[in-house]
């Protein structure tokens, strides 16, 4: 009987200890355990990272629309232009006026003469006192100072004219539409000779060198997804194409955005990753499957496994 009692006591002590060891780490230190497997997100939409509708910020008539659909354009290239003859003429006049230095040269020479006359009067009076009346001396001094001010005024006017030339140049640029980045023209909406209003789209340009893969992550996985998390993407043509080679190609990138707001009805959170897209295999508008590598343990989310409202305490003196 004594041996049986000791055996039962040992079992009674061993079972609770085993249960304590089986508790997950999350219950011990309040850290939400990270998944070790990849997080798969299906039905991800492929979106062009750079997509622009080029418009004019002033009304006018199109004088030229250079590219056609499918043409490549470079950043800063003029792709369309409004009729700008008047603006070009205004710039030419402004540049001519800004380069005019005649007033400065005249004022400088006049000041040199006035300075010589004033110093001559002073020199004469030093040799023979009161030879030149004081009033004449003061007038000579005033003429010298006035011509010196004329130099400053001429320089100021020249600076103003230079700014007017820049203003005319900036106005001329509003007649021209330039490509904001390297890309391909996917649509031409307006052509030469057509009248356009402010904000009318003339061209559409897309760059698909990098695409965004946008999908919805389930709420139980979202805490394991961080900005910078590596992703692997496969094209998903659904049932529209059977056993296509491009579906087996893997593309790699990183998470660039994790929404701070979740969808309350589907319990999902929107995320997107930027992925290099050589040869435009990941065509914007198609669908893909994205596998996200879970965040490292250092990025684990601290959470209370037994969360409850903090009890308030009233301090007493």
- Number of folded domains in the chain? 2
Domain with residue 251: its CATH number is 2.40.30.170
| N residues, the chain | 317
Sequence-ordered list of residues with C-beta below 8 angstroms from that of 243, at least 6 positions apart, any chain: none
Q: What is the pLDDT of residue 248?
A: 85
State whether 212 and 295 are in the same domain: yes
Residue 80 lies in a domain: no
**Mean pLDDT split into 10-residue runs, the chain, 317 residues:** 52 49 44 64 94 94 95 96 94 92 91 92 88 90 93 93 94 94 95 94 96 95 93 84 76 95 93 94 93 72 41 41
State whether 40 and 98 are in the same domain: no
State whether 37 and 101 are in the same domain: no
Cβ atoms 238, 288 nearer than 8 A: no
Using the 3D structure, point to which of 157, 174, 191 is the last residue of a domain: 174
Q: What is the pLDDT of residue 295?
A: 80
Residue 22 lies in a domain: no
Residue 272 lies in a domain: yes
Q: The domain containing residue 135 runs over which residues? A: 85-174
**Taking the complete model, does pTM exceed 0.75, yes or no?**
no
d(CA 53, CA 51): 7
Residue 108 lies in a domain: yes
Q: What is the pLDDT of residue 130?
A: 84
In the block, tokens 């004033």 appear at 118
Q: What is the pLDDT of residue 5?
A: 53
Residue 64 lies in a domain: no
Residue 313 lies in a domain: no
Which pair of structure tokens corresponds to residue 231?
């992703």
């Amino acid at each position: 009987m004594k041996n049986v009692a000791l055996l039962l006591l040992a079992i009674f002590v061993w079972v609770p200890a085993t249960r304590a060891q089986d508790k997950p780490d999350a219950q011990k230190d309040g850290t939400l355990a990270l998944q070790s497997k990849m997080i798969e997100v299906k039905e991800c939409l492929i979106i062009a990272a750079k997509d622009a509708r080029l418009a004019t910020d002033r009304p006018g008539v199109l004088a030229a629309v250079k590219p056609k659909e499918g043409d490549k354009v470079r950043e800063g290239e003029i792709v369309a232009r409004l009729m700008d003859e008047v603006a070009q003429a205004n710039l030419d006049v402004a540049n001519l006026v800004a380069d005019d230095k005649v007033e400065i040269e005249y004022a400088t020479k006049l000041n040199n003469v006035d300075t010589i006359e004033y110093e001559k009067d002073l020199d004469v009076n030093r040799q023979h006192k009161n030879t030149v009346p004081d009033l004449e001396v003061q007038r000579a001094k005033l003429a010298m100072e006035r011509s010196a001010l004329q130099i400053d005024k001429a320089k100021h006017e020249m600076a103003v004219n230079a700014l007017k030339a820049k203003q005319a140049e900036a106005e001329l640029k509003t007649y021209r539409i330039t490509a904001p980045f390297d890309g391909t023209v996917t649509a031409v909406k307006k052509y030469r000779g057509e009248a356009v209003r402010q904000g009318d789209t003339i061209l559409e340009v897309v760059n698909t060198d990098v695409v965004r893969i946008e999908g919805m992550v389930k709420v139980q996985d979202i805490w394991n997804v961080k900005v910078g998390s590596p992703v692997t993407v496969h094209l998903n043509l659904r049932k529209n194409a059977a056993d296509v080679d491009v579906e087996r190609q893997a593309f790699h990138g990183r998470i660039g955005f994790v929404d701070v707001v979740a969808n309350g009805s589907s319990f999902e959170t929107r995320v997107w990753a930027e992925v290099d897209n050589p040869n435009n295999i990941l065509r914007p508008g198609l669908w893909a499957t994205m596998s996200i590598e879970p965040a490292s343990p250092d990025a684990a989310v601290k959470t209370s496994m037994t969360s409850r409202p903090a009890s308030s305490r009233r301090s007493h003196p």
